[in-house]
Amino acid sequence: MVSRMWLFAAIVGSAMGLGRAGRVCDLALSECPNKFAVGVVKVPTEAIWLDAKIPFCKEYVQIGNAKPPSIVFIIDNSGSMEENDPEAARFDVVSTLLDNINAFAPNAEVSLVVFTRRLSFDHRENAFFKTAFPGDTSQHDSFVPLTALSKAFANGRTGLDTLKSLLKHDGKGNLIYATRLPASRNNSGMGRFNIRDGTDISLGFQAAKVALKDSKSDKGSQYFVFLSDGTPSTPDNGREGTLNEFILGASVPATFTVFFDTQNSTPVAPSNIVQMTGNIRVNNYSPANIKSAYWAINLPGAQLQTLLQTEVIGNVLSVPAKPVAASVATGDTTLLSTGLDARSFIFTRHMALKADTTRFQLDYTYSYIDTSGGRRVARQKHVPYALTLLRAQGAPLPAGMGETCKEQADISLYHDGQPISVVKADNATLEARLTLPDGSLCKGCGLEIRPSSARVKDHEDPVMVPGAGYLSGTFQREISVIPTVGDGRLQHLPGDSIVVTFVSPENPLDRVRKAFPYADVATVLNVGGQNDYARAKRTAAPAYDPQWLLVAPAAVQASPNDPLDHWRLQDGPMAPEDSLRYVGLTVEASRAFRVEVRIFSNHGEFVNKVAFAISQAEFMKLEKSAQGDTRRLKVLWDGRSRNGDQAATGAYVIKTTVTLINIPGIAEDNTVRTDYRRVGVLRTM
């Protein structure tokens, strides 16, 4: 009987999966690393590298002994701003910003110009305010003049206190200290006490230019900060012709404009602000005018503070530094930048993340020109940044980061040039292939072959050779519990899957593992006959001449159990006339075996015997059976007795005992098969 079964390896292989290649990603920063400097940043587990491009940051340098700047805030307070800045961030953020400026440059001079169709203050109420129309006693529109933040007033208040008081409002954008006096001129459609309707941007810029006449700083340190929803309308009587005058940007210092538009998810500055900024940049007022810029926002409460602090005040209170070079270090590895593009430092390669937490130390070098001593001196500034990344299962990609991903390499197994998903018992020689998604050959890449269980601690690292778009490594495999590591032959148990693993030499996190289940034939043992009778002529033969014939490949070596047993080897098939001279049997088995054959006469008298063993190594050399997963051997008797005499014509009994050799530690059936068959010998002259 033939018993076949899928061993436990097949079940395990199915349960564990064959291992499908996934994807691995470069983690690319789209913002300055300083954004991620606080705490640990969780990233998805497919991220295994930090990209070779890392953005540089905007850095500024305060020049020692430089004159304090003069800053005029031009603030739109028209009725439409209630929709585009409903939280009145234009006042609250500027108030907070004054504290920041004071901490950095307490001698800075600040002016406030708040406008609608008229200015929000009136010098007739307080002589502290300055008129926007000097010499014209009929006009009373006024502004807060340039005031040093550190200035001490007689009442004990400072300039900072005064300016912040004048920015207080009732929560709806109505300034507490705005004038309640009627305007000296009015649009015909406006009431004399209407102080919020209309938008005269040109009036705001006109007053700001008047304020700068009292500046103690040079023109390169004078700035306008303009906050508005950007659409001029409804000027007072007599000012219709100047409605768009602000667009010309004439005699205006470097200007930073923030356009408010909460009605659009992607706000865009209107053309008049774009044109104005372009004109200011080239009006030759000062070398600093090239800094002029504009931004459009739709969340002033959340965006305005950061924008003014980083983009505006950084430019006003310091000079921008130019990125020059950078280094990034993790563990014992430090890389230096090789160049930079418009927004990033470029390194020679991407940097591998660790399995869990990776800490990167970045050091950026900036250059700037120091003019504080009256001459231009080139200097450098070094800025450190810390970046700590934690690969976490299921973590979303953080804002400010992106991924560039690729498919992982694929592993496949071949036998006789054909792909296989299951390793069979007769697959003694296997070929493992490594294929990259783009078909390129992986430099320095290899595969490790192991059994799935830990009982047999063998592994093989086959030599990889290039193929047509893949790398290929060939190895042998066999069932054994006595491994020899590195002999090119993988020893494993019948319950093991064959595990093939690729680990990228560039990054150990780029790992692909595939398990190929092993299907062993647990017990196959058959004994078949040769001929029912032998027809042989009487011939004289020496007693020592072998009386047994083994039909097997020439390389097979059987091990005798008794030194008196003799046989000779027959390589290849026999001619029909030769085959008729013998009776005997065919052994078909699934692994190494022992054979004992005894010949008895029809009356039970002993005639001859032979006994030998076929080891597992010799078993693999035998001829494959038709099923392909077992092998076979013929054992033939030439009709002579143990002493060399020819047996007489008559009937004989062949008793055959075949035992599958038990390999220690391997859980297979220890099967014994005993076969009896009656044969005849016909002796002819």
pLDDT digits (tens, 9 = 90+) for 123-176: 999 999 999 999 998 889 999 999 999 999 989 999 999 999 999 999 888 999
At 600, which helix (H) or strand (E)?
A: strand 593-601
**Residues ≥6 apart with Cβ < 8 Å to 135:** none
C-alpha span between 318 and 334 (Å, rounded):
31
CATH architecture label of 525-684? Sandwich (2.60)
C-alpha span between 660 and 591 (Å, rounded):
7
**SS3 category, 421:** coil
Q: In the 8-state DSSP scheme, what is residue 151?
A: P
pLDDT digits (tens, 9 = 90+) for 459-516: 899 999 999 999 999 999 888 777 788 788 898 887 789 999 999 999 999 999 999 9
Q: Cα 387 from chain centroid? A: 16
Q: What's the pLDDT score for residue 4?
A: 32
**526 contacts 439 by C-beta, under 8 angstroms:** no
Cα separations in angstroms, 324 against 61, 315, 337, 339: 15, 19, 9, 8
**SS3 category, 68:** coil
Residue 266: how many CB atoms within 10 A of its CB?
A: 7
**153 contacts 145 by C-beta, under 8 angstroms:** no
Q: Please give the CATH topology (third level) of the domain spanning 70-317.
A: Rossmann fold (3.40.50)
pLDDT digits (tens, 9 = 90+) for 329-348: 999 999 999 999 999 999 99
Report the predicted TM-score, pTM, of the whole model to 2 decimal places: 0.51
Backbone angles phi, psi at 188, to 5 degrees: -60, -25
With tokens 């207080």, the residue in question is 168
Q: What's the pLDDT score for residue 374?
A: 63
Q: What's the pLDDT score for residue 162?
A: 96
C-alpha span between 528 and 680 (Å, rounded):
16
Residue 157: how many CB atoms within 10 A of its CB?
A: 13
C-alpha span between 566 and 454 (Å, rounded):
43
Euclidean distance between the first and the last CA atom of the chain, given in angstroms as a whole number: 41
User: Domain 24-61+321-405, CATH 1.10.600 — does that match?
Assistant: no
Q: What's the pLDDT score for residue 664?
A: 57
CATH code at 8-22+408-519:
2.60.40.10
Instruction: Give the CA angle between residues 375, 381, 382 to the nearest 5°.
Output: 165
C-alpha span between 32 and 8 (Å, rounded):
54
Q: What's the pLDDT score for residue 3?
A: 32
Q: Which residues of the chain have pLDDT under 50?
A: 1-20, 665-667
CA dihedral 547, 553, 559, 564 (to 10 degrees): 10
24-61+321-405 matches 8-22+408-519 in CATH topology: yes
Domain segments of the chain as ranges: 8-22+408-519, 24-61+321-405, 70-317, 525-684
pLDDT digits (tens, 9 = 90+) for 227-283: 999 889 988 888 899 999 999 999 999 999 999 999 898 999 999 999 999 999 999
**210 contacts 70 by C-beta, under 8 angstroms:** no
Cα separations in angstroms, 559 against 115, 231, 469, 554: 111, 104, 46, 14
Count of residues making up the chain: 685
